[in-house]
Structure 1
Amino acid sequence: METRRDFIKKSSILSLAGAVQPASAINLLQTKQQTKPKTHWADGFRLVVSVSMQFEAGGQPDNAESPFPQNMQKGFIDLPAATWFAYGYKEGIPRMLDNWDKLGIKVTSHMVGTAVLKNPQLAKEIVQRGHEAAAHGMNWATEYTMSYDEEKKFIKDGIDAIKKVTGFDAIGYNANWLRRGENTLKILQELGFIYHIDDLSRDEPFIIKVNDKDFAVVPYTLRCNDIMLIEGKNFSADQFVNQVKMEFDQLYAESEYKRRQMSISFHDRIGGSPQMVKAASEIIKYIQQQPGVAFKRKDEIARMALADKTTIRE
């Protein structure tokens, strides 16, 4: 009869035998790791970072959502809140533009049509400094409730305002709070757009079919987004820095064998504050220390995705 001591002794020997793998098995494992296919971007970079600069201030309706309590009585205008938005075009965007120049990166600016018309020189300066002008609707209207014709006019009015002021043909789109309607993508394809960003489902661009044609999706972010982490949840700038750095570290590790895109989003009246511009500078300098990383505008990313046969298709 086998004693408990004999059983433990036998089990230990079997476990040790299982732990010692033959040299052939080890070599096979190492070969598999070494031959794991790399999926770098077509231009050789292993990770692409996309920065958004939302140009919305000046285009908001009266009593728009702000950090102030939403308790204004009907018939009155929230004047302090209006000054919070005005900070975006008076201080925020000019400060961010100088920072992007210092850091040597180009960004995508999603522009609300009425904001562009109210501050044409600022909109023009964004494009003149080499940044992309993307469309963000004509105003802050709720887009998903519009009829097909109403929405098409709404989107076209926005891109016409951008074209008139900046001379830039917008080919990328962002709906208010990402809430597009059932007809939005069809309309965008008809109007000559090549991508939209109202999608959070991946950490890399992908291609879908719209009107039987290829259309790029360049994913957006709510995680690395100042409106969620600073204005929305009262996080501090240093928490934002740490969270975005952690996001980058993980995506960079994955990017060795998987195509990765990181998105960071700033809004004129939030990301343009002194503390957040300092935070952005620290984040971007940290990212720039790593080899194989490129900062690209979203129109560049969309064109690369559409031209690359290995891009994911859905």
Structure 2
Amino acid sequence: MNPPVRDFVGYGRRPPVVRWPGDARVAVSIVVNYEEGSERSFDRDGVNEGLGEVPRRVDAPYRDLATESVYEYGSRAGVHRLLRLFARYDVATTFFAAAEALERNPEVCAALRDSGHEVCAHGWRWTEEWTLDVDAQRAAIERAVRSIEATCGQRPVGWYSRWMPSVDTRRLLVEEGGFRYDSNAYNDDLPYFVQVGDAPFLVVPYSLTFNDSRHTYGQLTSASDFFDECRRGFDYLWEEGDHTPRMLSIGVHPRLIGQPSRTSALRDFIDHVLTKGGAWFARRRDIAETWWNQHPTLVRD
């Protein structure tokens, strides 16, 4: 079934030159992972979700009410704090959204419909696709598309799996026919094409480096750590962008970055980018369309 082939070369010494809108040096893609309400829970799955504010899991037969409430904070308070911040700065973002999480919070769906942010499918539920058989994956993709169309009024054109896809995911996305990209890779600073069967398909890589999930693992201990990591990444890419424009992915979660102190770090980063200039705050679908339009011949074998 043509499983993915590892590529250690990429663009090498000759990365392609793209012209971002406004001749920006860096396309900054802020991604909000909206998963609250679709995570594992004891009442439905017989196991508790293991990723909360601390990296631990409460085992059955005990229900983890603490972690459940952390996720509820994200959907009740954190996500709206982020939406207010983006509106204040007129910043366009992409929501990696689990379809079920959207169904459980019509307020968020209404805000997304009104705001113009992109909704990228993050699964039907926030589940590990590599544990599902092909038919179950196909059904979950179709169900996620229908659900997001109904709740948010837009058909998702991008896909991002929880942590990693299965070896079949990309083929199933191409088979579905309506996806323009996925973000199921962490291996580059620029989009790139892959060949899936007879069709080219675009990968818009994501990042676990510039990501607030590192608070969960103790790798970032303060809001200032997150700001410094993102600022340094942007500044370095900005310097490189003098010759070859770059892309920076920033990953955040309402239950984490939505806490006031951490939101202030994201605010300071946006301030820094706007003050420095030369950046394009972009939805991933717009990055993908720019790449499709400017580099349609870069399909790799």
TM-score (norm 1): 0.83
Deviates most, 212-221 or 87-96: 212-221
Shift of 1:190: 1.9
Query: What is the distance in 2 between the residues matched to 1:101 and 1:162?
Result: 22
Query: For the pair shown, which has the larger CA radius of gyration, 1 or 2?
Result: 1
- For residue 37 of structure 2, the aligned residue among 58, 74, 82 is 58
- For residue 189 of structure 1, the aligned residue among 161, 174, 186 is 174
Query: What is the distance in 2 between the residues matched to 1:142 and 1:69?
Result: 18
CA RMSD of aligned residues (A): 1.9
Contact kept? 2:78, 2:259, Cα under 8 Å: yes
Alignment of 1:123-134 (within 5 A): 123-134=109-120
TM-score (norm 2): 0.87
Superposed CA offset, 1:279-311 (max 9, x none): 111001101122321111000001111111377
Query: What is the distance in 1 between the residues matched to 2:210 and 2:55?
Result: 25
Query: What is the distance in 1 between the residues matched to 2:242 and 2:148?
Result: 38
Shift of 1:170: 0.3
Query: What is the distance in 1 between the residues matched to 2:29 and 2:195?
Result: 23
CA spacing shift, 1:258–1:121, aligned 2, 3 Å: same
2:222 corresponds to: 236
1:147 corresponds to: 133
Secondary structure in 1 matching 2:227: helix
Identity of aligned residues (%): 27
Secondary structure in 2 matching 1:67: coil
Secondary structure in 1 matching 2:249: strand
1:13 corresponds to: none
Query: What is the distance in 2 between the residues matched to 1:298 and 1:37?
Result: 19
Which letter does structure 2 place at the counterpart of 1:273? Answer: Q
2:123 corresponds to: 137
- Alignment of 1:161 with 2:147, yes or no, is yes
Secondary structure in 2 matching 1:133: strand
2:10 corresponds to: none
Shift of 1:74: 1.7
Query: What is the distance in 1 between the residues matched to 2:297 and 2:265?
Result: 33
- For residue 94 of structure 1, the aligned residue among 57, 62, 80 is 80
Deviates most, 36-45 or 213-222: 36-45
- For residue 245 of structure 2, the aligned residue among 246, 255, 259 is 259
Superposed CA offset, 1:9-65 (max 9, x none): xxxxxxxxxxxxxxxxxxxxxxxxxxx999342533221110001110111111102
Secondary structure in 2 matching 1:269: coil
Which letter does structure 2 place at the counterpart of 1:151? Answer: Q
Query: What is the distance in 2 between the residues matched to 1:73 and 1:147?
Result: 26
2:17 corresponds to: 39
Q: Tell me how many residue pairs correspond in the alignment.
A: 277
Which letter does structure 2 place at the counterpart of 1:281? Answer: R
Unaligned runs of 5+ in 2: 1-13, 42-47
Contact kept? 1:172, 1:193, Cα under 8 Å: yes
Secondary structure in 1 matching 2:239: helix
